[in-house]
Amino acid sequence: MDKTKVKSFSVWARRNLIKAVAKRALKIGVEKNSISEVEEFQHGFKIKGKEEIIDFPVRYRKTLIDNIKQKGFEEIIEEVACTWFFRFIALRYMEVNNYLPEKIIDLPLEKFPIDKQKYMPKLYKYILIKECNELGKIIPEIFQNKSDYMEILIPDNLLNGDSIIKRLVQDIEEECLKEENNFLQDYKGLCGVEVIGWMYQYYISEKKDEVFAALKENVKIEKENIPAATQLFTPKWIVKYMVENSLGRLWIDKFKGDSEYIDNEKCTSSKGGKLHIGLLKEKWQYYLEESKQGLEVEKELDEIRKYENNISPENIRILDPCMGSGHILVYAFDLLYEIYIDAGYNRREIPELILKNNIYGLDIDDKVTKLSSFALKMKARYYNKELFKDIQRDGLKLNICSIEESNEISKEVIDYFCSSQVLKKSINVKVKSPKNIVKNSRVGKSQDRLKVEEYNLRKDVEYLVNTFNNAKEYGSILEVRKINFEALESRIEEIKKEDNFIFGDYRKLILDKMSLLIKQGKIMSMKYDVVITNPPYMGLRGINSKLADFLINNFPISKYDLFSVYMEVCLKYSKKYGIVSMINQHSWMFLSSFMEFRNWLLDKSTFINMLHLGTRAFEENVGTIVQNVAYVSRNYSNYSYKTKVINLTKENSSEEKNIKLKEICSNISKREIYELALKQLFIIPSKPFAYWVNENILKVFSSFKPLSELAKPRQGMATSDNKRFLRQWFEVDINKIKFDANNSEEAQNSGKKWFPYNKGGEYRKWYGNNEFIINWENDGKEVKEYAAKLYKSYSRTIKNEKFYFKKGLTYTFISEDIGARYCQNGFIFDVAGSSIFTEKEEQINIVLALLCSKISKMFLDIMNPTYNIQVGDIKNVPISKKMLQEEISYKIKNLVHENIIISKNEWDSFETSWDFKWHPFLLIKNGELESDISEAEKSLCNKYISCGFDVWKSFTNKQFQKLKKNEEELNRMLIEIYGFKEELTPEVKDKDITIKKADRERDIKSFISFAVGCMFGRYSGYKKGLICAGRIDDSIIIPITEEECFEDDIVLRFINFVKALYGKETLNENLDFIADSIGRKSFETSRQCIKRYFLRDFYKDHLKIYKKKPIYWLLKSGKNEGFSALIYMHRYNENIIQSVRVNYVHLIVEKYTKQMNKLNTIVSSEDYSIKDVNSAKKDIEKVFKKIEECKEYEEFLEYLSARKMSIYLDDGIKVNYEKFQQIKFINSKGIEVKKDLFFKI
């Protein structure tokens, strides 16, 4: 299956259908904000004032309007679009597989005019609707018209070349829809009914992106968005692993408990058929044999197998509580079919037996539940060609539900349901007499018995209604106890027979809703032999408050994520000795927050086997942060049970993991298989499931002291609104920043507003990532007040204040490796940049050495191989006392000190550092760089940029190698101290050294950026450091033009800058070197190349360097590039816009006009060649567009200058920049337009 095509089609189909359905609604006079009046006719209606008659009953339109008022316009349009999407893909699937009944409808062609071509679209729509209505009798989940408006809003133009039906046929290959390909060993990729599940995941992918984009803006995920946020299609090979090792194991264990069982030999089944367990296991490519157990464990397992020996195919119950589109249940169907066949059942009977007896499913998504029902029926149809006839004759109820809410069920509806007038006819069940009703009376008396029955029924109904209030919020994690469902079902049947006009609305609500509540309640109250699922992954922080509170109150040890909650829930759904199989994120295995949960899991269950999948387990790109594990467990506990764990984390794709697992299952490979009792790992602090750890490492954990005895790792604060309180240092007035406060008192007395803030950042060791500042004016008054307002007490999120401004270490919370860095005094720290402090300052380097070594990486990977580096894990890193011995510590401290200096120098060589002094080429030129170059080389560096770069390149290479050598020496020392020569080697790869070597293109571009800074007075070619004042240009505007229209054009300025620094004599050589470094084309001069760079690429590079928070702002007239200029936002004033208009834009319009006149002269003259004339004509069109663009821009500038727009640096670059974007104004043509002053970021 070409997933790219499937995704492209599905995303397009959603957009197309939503537009088409909305257009159809408009056609019948229904819009979001208005509804037209209509005139009704015998066979339809028409909009008042229009001639076209709509051939649908007007009640369809009324139903539509009523539903829009209740649910909203967009929701109804989305619902209809999705319904027709399902119908189209279902029809296509059935067509390809020859599942459509041969004759569905009798078509009265005489009703249609003779000119059938003209009426073909209408005829096609008529047939399609009729066909759907007929199929609704067989597959009501997809085709039944529960809402009249589904027909009236069917999209038009379904036979057009670009219609959804045509695209569906063209884009989605028939082969990938054919069910039979599922059973071909050589067929690559997904196929059959499961493709429809993929199509739905892609269909809602844009909605999913919107939900997660909102989550980044701190918008919590509400219940209506949970399906979109959590839909993730499980790779088929993982599904097979889960099903074969749970359901398959249950069946195999049944015969292992039989005293006559011998593997690979035939055994007699309870039905009288013949079983061949060996052959079954050969079919199952992913079945894993249990680890060899000790004698005591084997005895227990034998007892369990005796219990399972009573299982027959018909009484196996399988539940997927988060079934999605039914992918797992569909494969379970295939495996169940094999089990029934081997047990001797009639082939035609099996599909319906499986649907009636074995398969159960739940989900909160109404839409995806329909697909699941469809998928299961199609799977049954594959095995039984007469299935549809059987359904029409006998009906078929599936045991799957979309979770319904009881919110609409009022007390009055309950009263009607429990009405005693009908109870005496309908209820005939055994009653437990409540004391408050029956006192000293015999239950046999009919009146009292009736009261008791009504009381019991009412209590059950009220319980059900209360349980499922807001059930969409909670889904299948709700716990439902056993009640008298038979009595409730009996009452439903009685109500169906009633003909009660007075209580008609109550009756309808009961039949529509109550029957569904009873069905789902029954499923949720049952226990299952096998529970298999891929649950939603959604952390507590991203969940809305209602669901979060529910998890905190009901699942105290698993509350941190929905997937871990489902691990607990699935065990509750499981029978004693039942089997649970899941795939989820692996964080529960390692994070310290899950430590209690891991204890609970081993107390309640036994893990039979696990696949540690790591990253990229899913075929879709969900990034490297998501790491997964799949497992099979049994609902019984034995600490001595040896779990088989297979490590697939080293494979780099889902397919590589699949191949490796198949090799292991077929005994081709035995690498990366671990067999151990998981409880033995609990000697490690935080008790992770670090299955790969050997005895030598466990010994270190048990005998060495934890780092917490030497250092204090501390979690940082959460501001609760980073946009409001954080800035990057270059955004604000540098005079408002206090960089070196030693304590809170000094910070407060400074009167400064902004202070350095550690916020993690990219992986980097030793020093760096100093980018952010926080508003901590008046001891953080504003931040604290905001936190107190949100949480009642600011200390909930603002932690460890006494450590603020102290020297220490910091690291990145979310990272593949810890990347610890030295932190000078003056910093406050974030939760994403948590910090470490020591009692004695000289111990800082000792701790830094440990945390930047391979030793700490190994320990942290054991305690928590996720991308979240927890404070608790750092506290538990074992530290050797030998590191503190004088001779060893002296050497360690010196090496670390060198590493810090090297990393700091490299960090400060870029202008994004607040300690940036000069560009490295100037450091070399002025003898500021510690480098062993000769006087002759220094002389050359004063004249040639190329010489300066060569010296810089040599210097950075030496620094890189020195840092690498130091890191390897530290690794060697620590490996020897800890005794890990067998486990680790000291060598460090170049990619793990976190300073940069020289790069000609990057460094020349940074030189150009430095030159622009000098033009604006931010820097100087003759004075080190940030220059906060200086008269460069009265207007502080630097134009960027294709033609050299202005004397202060940026290219001319840059050339003069190079000339001033390196001399006139070498100017051309230096410009050539610069041009060649930034990608000069073969036909360009150096000046042309530099001009092209400033026109096309300089600003793009500036945005990358400053992460879309530019300090230089690009004025741009529009897409025709009539005018561009840079201003420096720190030098902005209210008059600058007027200056741009008068001194630049007005003048450039005049120059373009003169150019236009010259071009017109060429065109009208006979003195020029045809080539010249044609070229002039093309240029006239370009210049005309530039003139028009600049004239409108000039009007816009005049409009803005009158407004005297100001900026406030403390608001940050994004806020200030956006003040000048998308501003409405009326141009000279009287048209209101939206205009940007600056380049659109």
What mean pLDDT comes out for the span 954-980? 97
b/e string for 252-269 if b means 16 or more Cβ within 10 A? bbbbbbbeebeeeeebeb
Q: Out of 103-112, 140-149, 659-668, 786-795, pick the least confident.
A: 103-112
State how far the alpha carbon of 698 is from the alpha carbons of 4, 704, 999, in Å. Answer: 47, 10, 44
**Residue 304 CB: number of other CB atoms within 10 A?**
16
Residues 537 and 231: their CA atoms lie apart, in Å, by: 9
- Span 432-489, pLDDT tens digits: 444 444 444 444 556 676 677 788 899 999 999 999 999 999 999 999 999 999 999 9
Predicted pLDDT of residue 1063: 95
The dihedral built from the CA positions of residue 739, 741, 746 and 748, taken in this order, carries a sign that is positive
CB-based contacts of 1139, cutoff 8 Å, min separation 6: 1035, 1037
- Of 711, 638, 634, 647, the closest CA to residue 673 belongs to 647
Helices (H), 418-531: 420-426, 446-467, 471-474, 485-497, 504-509, 515-525
- Residue 579 three-state SS: strand
CATH match of 234-312+530-692 with 3.30.700: no
Query: What does R_g of the chain's alpha carbons equal in angstroms?
Result: 37
Predicted pLDDT of residue 428: 45
- Span 873-882, pLDDT tens digits: 899 999 999 9
213 pLDDT above the threshold of 90: no
What mean pLDDT comes out for the span 655-676? 90
CB-based contacts of 373, cutoff 8 Å, min separation 6: 139, 141, 142, 326, 398, 400
Q: How is residue 1120 written in tokens?
A: 């025709």
Residues 907 and 909: their CA atoms lie apart, in Å, by: 5
- For β-strands 574-585 and 528-533, DSSP reports them as parallel
> Confidence class of residue 274 from pLDDT cuts 50, 70 and 90?
very low
Render 781-838 in DSSP notation, one character per residue: HHHHHHHHHHHSSGGGTS--GGGTT--EEE--SB-SS---EEE-TT-EEBGGG-EEEE
**Residue 926 CB: number of other CB atoms within 10 A?**
15
Element (H, E) at 581: strand 574-585
1044, 1140 contact by CB (below 8 A) = no
CB-based contacts of 793, cutoff 8 Å, min separation 6: 787
377, 387 contact by CB (below 8 A) = yes
Render 355-390 in DSSP notation, one character per residue: IIIIEEEEES-HHHHHHHHHHHHHHHHHH-TTHHHH
Residue 1045: what residue type? C
At residue 266, φ and ψ (nearest 5 deg) are: -75, 140
Predicted pLDDT of residue 621: 58
500 pLDDT above the threshold of 70: no
Question: Which contacts (CB < 8 Å, 24+ apart) does range 499-502 have?
Answer: none
State how far the alpha carbon of 1214 is from the alpha carbons of 1067, 1111, 1221, in Å. Answer: 38, 10, 11
- Of 416, 21, 71, 375, the closest CA to residue 200 belongs to 375
Residues forming beta bridges with residue 955, ordered by sequence position: none
Q: How is residue 20 written in tokens?
A: 């088409």
Residues 35 and 152: their CA atoms lie apart, in Å, by: 15
- Span 1111-1158, pLDDT tens digits: 999 999 999 999 999 999 999 999 999 999 999 999 999 999 999 999
Q: Using the 8-state DSSP alphabet, how is residue 929 labeled?
A: S
Residues 905 and 901: their CA atoms lie apart, in Å, by: 6
Predicted pLDDT of residue 225: 76
1018, 916 contact by CB (below 8 A) = no
Predicted pLDDT of residue 725: 98
Q: Using the 8-state DSSP alphabet, how is residue 117 labeled?
A: H
How many residues does this entry show for the chain?
1241
**Residue 1169 CB: number of other CB atoms within 10 A?**
9
b/e string for 1085-1123 if b means 16 or more Cβ within 10 A? ebbebbbbbbbeebbebbbebbeebbbbbbbbbbeebbb
CA 623 to the chain's CA centroid: 8
Predicted pLDDT of residue 624: 53
Residue linked to tokens 């300052």: 841
124 pLDDT above the threshold of 90: no
> Confidence class of residue 1029 from pLDDT cuts 50, 70 and 90?
very low
Element (H, E) at 676: strand 673-676
State how far the alpha carbon of 81 is from the alpha carbons of 20, 24, 26, 694, 943, in Å. Answer: 8, 11, 15, 57, 69
| Averaged confidence pLDDT in the chain | 89
The domains of the chain are located at 3-203, 234-312+530-692, 318-400, 411-525, 705-992, 1112-1241
b/e string for 882-897 if b means 16 or more Cβ within 10 A? ebeeeebbeebbebbe
The more confidently predicted of residues 276 and 18 is 18
CA 747 to the chain's CA centroid: 39
CB-based contacts of 772, cutoff 8 Å, min separation 6: 726, 727, 728, 729, 756, 757, 758, 759, 830
Residues 150 and 34: their CA atoms lie apart, in Å, by: 20
What mean pLDDT comes out for the span 1085-1107? 97
> Confidence class of residue 109 from pLDDT cuts 50, 70 and 90?
low
What mean pLDDT comes out for the span 545-567? 95
189 pLDDT above the threshold of 80: no
Residues 1066 and 1054: their CA atoms lie apart, in Å, by: 15
The more confidently predicted of residues 52 and 362 is 362
- Span 933-956, pLDDT tens digits: 788 888 898 999 999 999 999 999
